Amino acid sequence: MDPFCPVHGFQEHCLIHEAGHAVAAIEHEIAFIQVAVLPPENWHQTVEGATAGGVTLPGDLRDVAATLSHTKTFEFALAGVQAERVILGHELHMSFLGDVNLWRRTVGIIGADQMAEIEDVLGQPLMSAAADVEEWVEVNRDEILAVRGALARSSWTLTQDQVMAAIARAT
């Protein structure tokens, strides 16, 4: 039995999570090299959760944040965890916090009153912004599932062009 999620398994969560990020990257024209889910032997634990994959950008995430609105970078950052919530019904422990913290550091929110800073930057309460991303996932569910399927059928790594092809087949 999978200790992380006895219903879906850790790998399924990772596939859905990374597919969510990849579809958001395409929608927001965020260039990336690849999206990958690592094989279990390469997963590693961090303070904020487990790292089991990701979207590899050609530069730093701060470069992306400099060209997009904070709302769009937030959507990209939370697309993975919100895809888990919408498609699987729940997220893995620490998925939400890990993605929020990555976004928060990227946009320079490091102060003591981080919640107030987050809400000021987003122009709305954090949970309202997260609900907006959840709605975005609902609209893009088929595309996320198509990328998830392509990841599972591949060597668990897709280039940006392969993600775009999977999305095109879903629409």
pLDDT for 145: 98
Homologous superfamily, domain 10-170: Peptidase M41 (1.20.58.760)
Q: Rounded CA gap, 77 and 18, in Å? A: 10
pLDDT for 164: 98
Q: Which long-range contacts (CB under 8 A, 24 or more apart) does 130-133 make?
A: 130/78, 130/82, 130/96, 132/75, 133/74, 133/75, 133/78, 133/79, 133/82
Q: Where are the domains of the chain?
A: 10-170
pLDDT for 48: 45
| 10-residue stretch averages of pLDDT, the chain, 171 residues long | 75 93 95 85 54 77 83 93 95 81 86 86 93 97 98 93 97 84
CB 58 within 8 A of CB 42: no
pLDDT for 28: 94
